Amino acid sequence: MEPKDSAFSRRGVLAGGVALAAQSGTLLAQSKAAAPGRKFRGWVSRGAGPGRTTLQDLTLRPISGRQIVVRTEATNLCYSNSSDVLGLPPPGVPPAAKDAPPRAVPPAFLAMSRMALIQGHGGVGTVEAVGPEVRRVQVGDRVCVSGTPQCGSCYQCLRGRADMCQFLGRQGPNDLVPIADMRDGTPVYANSHIGGLAELMVTFEEWVVPVFTKASAADLGMVCSCVSVAGLGCTASQVLADVGIGSIVAVVGCGPLGLSAIQGARIAGASTIIGIDPIRVRREVALKVGATHVLDPNVEGDKLVEKVRELSNGPNNRLWAGGRDSGGLLGGAGADFVVEAVGADRAKPKLEAGPDPTGILPIQQAYMMCAPGGHIVTTSLPTGNVTLPAVVFTIGGRTHHAGQCGGANPMRDIPRFVELLDKKQFDAKSLATTIVPIEGMLDAYQQVIDRTTVTALMTA
Ligand SMILES: [Zn+2]
Ligand SMILES: [Zn+2]
C-alpha cells in the first residue's frame, strides 16, 4: 500500500511518466509540421573563385530525427567565412607564380568545394518544424543557431568544455546531409549543419538554443553571432578566465569579437579596459562601448607592450602597499586579462591595415602585455607559428586559454547574453553597422572583407 501523500509514491512517478509521454507526444505531433517541398531562397556556393556563390530557388527536403527547420531572421556575415563565400584563396596562401605546378589541395577541401553548400555558420530565427526526437525547442520558439554545438553528452561537454563539443568536428563532407534541392535536382547541403545564408536553416538539435526575447532580428542576430558569443564568452562566461571587478583588461583587435569582449569586460566590472586596433573608426566604437583607453598599434609600434604595461601600473608602485612593480617582465605590470582577437587578413583591408597580416605579431604582443599571474585568451584564426621568449613562457606566470566561442557554454550562456541585450547592457547596434536583406548579402560581405564596416548582418 502506498503512503497517501508521499512525494515519491509510485503513482507520482507514474504520473511523471505520463507527463513525459504527453510531452513527447506533442513533439511527435509537431514533427508533422515539417513542410517538405517548401520553397525558399538560399545563397549556394560551389566551385572555385569569385562568382561561386549565387542566390538560388530551393526546395526543402523532409526532416527526421533531431533535425530542425528554422525560418531565418538574421545571420552575421562572419569574416572567417568570407573566403568561402567570395571565392578568395584561403588565408596564408600567396598567389601562385604563373608557371608554378598546381598545388595539392586537401581531399576534404576539394570535396567540400564541389558540393552545393549554403555558407554561414550561425543565425537566429523561429522554429518552423522539428524532427520527432527533438526535445530542446518547439515549433514557434525563437532560437539561436549557435556556431558551436553543444550535445551535452560527449567527453568535452561532460567535462565542462561545451565550447569544444565533439560534434563540432562532425562537419566534413561525409557528415553533411542534403537538406534541399536546386531546380535542376542538385542536392544542397548546409555548411556546419547550419547554412545561415538562406531563408531557412536546416540544423540539428545540438546547434540550437532557445531564446525568449522580443529583441529585433538584427539586435538578436548580433548578440547571438559567433563573434559576439566568443567576445562575451572570453570576458563574461567565466569558463576560460574569470574577469573580476576592478581588473585591467586589454583587448587586442576591435572587430565585432573584440568589441563584444570589451563589453563583457565592462559588464564583468573591469576598471581599465584598453582597446587596441589600427582602424580609427573601430577605436571610436571601442570607447563608445566600454574601453577606457584605446591604442593604435601602428602608432605605438615596438612600444605597444610597454605602453599597455604603463597604463596598467595603477596609482601605487609600493610593494608593501599592494602596488605593482613595473620593473622587468616578471614584475607586476601588465593587464590582468588579455583577449587576442586579430587573426590573419583574408584580403588587403581598405581601411588602416595592421602591422602584421598573418596575425602572429598581435599574439606575441598579447602574451607579453599580460601581467605575471594574468590570463590570455586567444580567439583568432592566424597563419604561421608563434615564437615567444621561452623563460617568460615557462616561468612568467601567464596562463594561456584557447577555446571555441571564448569558452562560452552555449545553452547556459547564450540566454544570459540575450538578457544583457534586453537589459541594455550589451550594445548590438554599434557593432552591426551594415544590415541588408538577403539580396544584398554579397555587397555586404565585400564591406566585411574590406573592413569598411564593423560587421554586417543579412536579414531574411
Ligand atoms: Zn564565425
Ligand atoms: Zn558535446
What does the pLDDT look like over 236-292, one tens digit per residue?
999 999 999 999 999 999 999 999 999 999 999 999 999 999 999 999 999 999 999
pLDDT digits (tens, 9 = 90+) for 372-407: 999 999 999 999 999 999 999 999 999 999 999 999
Closest CA to 130 of 203, 72, 80: 203
Give the closest ligand to the alpha carbon of residue 230: 1
Residue type, 297: P
The C-alpha cell at 205 is 538539435
Give the closest ligand to the alpha carbon of residue 164: 2
* Dihedral sign from CA coordinates of 412, 417, 420, 422: negative
Q: What is the mean pLDDT of residues 6-25?
A: 40
Q: How far is CA 34 from CA 132, 248, 410, 438, in A?
A: 10, 50, 26, 23
Over pLDDT 70: what percentage of the chain? Answer: 88
For 16-84, the DSSP string reads HHHHHHHHHHHHHHHHTT--TT-EEEEEEE-SSSTT-EEEEEEEEPP--TTEEEEEEEEEE--GGGHHH
Q: How far is the CA of 350 from the centre of ligand 2 (A)?
A: 39
Residue 9, pLDDT > 80, answer no
Quote the DSSP letter at residue 433.
E
Q: How far is the CA of 380 from the centre of ligand 1 (A)?
A: 10
Q: How far is the CA of 207 from the centre of ligand 2 (A)?
A: 10
Over pLDDT 90: what percentage of the chain? Answer: 80
Cβ contact 245:221 at 8 Å: no
pLDDT for the residue numbered 332? 80
Q: How far is the CA of 450 from the centre of ligand 2 (A)?
A: 35
**Residue labelled with grid coordinates 598545388:** 103
Cβ contact 34:63 at 8 Å: yes
Give the closest ligand to the alpha carbon of residue 227: 1
CB-count exposure of residue 17 (10 Å: 0-12, 13-18, 19+) = exposed
Q: How far is the CA of 378 from the centre of ligand 2 (A)?
A: 21
Host H or E run for residue 371 = strand 370-378
CB-count exposure of residue 216 (10 Å: 0-12, 13-18, 19+) = middle
Q: 160 in helix, strand or coil? A: coil
Half-sphere exposure of 261 (CA within 13 A, CB side): 37
- Residue 200 binned pLDDT confidence (cut-offs 50, 70, 90): very high
Q: What is the mean pLDDT of residues 196-206?
A: 98
Neighbours of ion ligand 1 (CB under 5 A): 78, 80, 226
- Residue 325 binned pLDDT confidence (cut-offs 50, 70, 90): confident
Helix H, strand E, coil C: the string for 406-432 is HHCCHHHHHHHHHHHHHCCCCCCCCCE
Q: How far is the CA of 230 from the centre of ligand 1 (A)?
A: 9
Q: How far is the CA of 165 from the centre of ligand 2 (A)?
A: 4
Highest average pLDDT, of 102-111, 170-179, 317-326, comes from 170-179
pLDDT for the residue numbered 89? 77
Q: 455 in helix, strand or coil? A: strand
Cβ contact 251:265 at 8 Å: yes
d(CA 225, CA 168): 16
Q: What is the mean pLDDT of residues 44-49?
A: 93
Q: How far is the CA of 85 from the centre of ligand 1 (A)?
A: 13
Closest CA to 139 of 198, 229, 63: 63
Cβ contact 240:400 at 8 Å: no
Q: What is the mean pLDDT of residues 45-60?
A: 95
pLDDT digits (tens, 9 = 90+) for 415-424: 999 999 999 9
Q: How far is the CA of 120 from the centre of ligand 2 (A)?
A: 21
Cβ contact 207:193 at 8 Å: yes
Q: How far is the CA of 298 from the centre of ligand 2 (A)?
A: 41
pLDDT for the residue numbered 6? 42
Q: What is the mean pLDDT of residues 437-444?
A: 97
Q: How far is the CA of 269 from the centre of ligand 1 (A)?
A: 27
pLDDT for the residue numbered 317? 83
pLDDT digits (tens, 9 = 90+) for 331-360: 788 999 999 999 999 999 999 999 999 999
pTM for the structure as a whole: 0.91
d(CA 147, CA 131): 20
Q: How far is the CA of 76 from the centre of ligand 1 (A)?
A: 8
Q: How far is the CA of 362 from the centre of ligand 2 (A)?
A: 31
Q: How far is the CA of 163 from the centre of ligand 2 (A)?
A: 8
Closest CA to 114 of 164, 48, 160, 28: 48
Locate the DSSP E strands across 183-247.
187-190, 200-204, 208-210
Residue 20, pLDDT > 50, answer no
Cβ contact 335:270 at 8 Å: no
Pairing outcome for strands 39-45 and 53-60: antiparallel
Q: How far is the CA of 228 from the centre of ligand 1 (A)?
A: 9
pLDDT for the residue numbered 91? 63
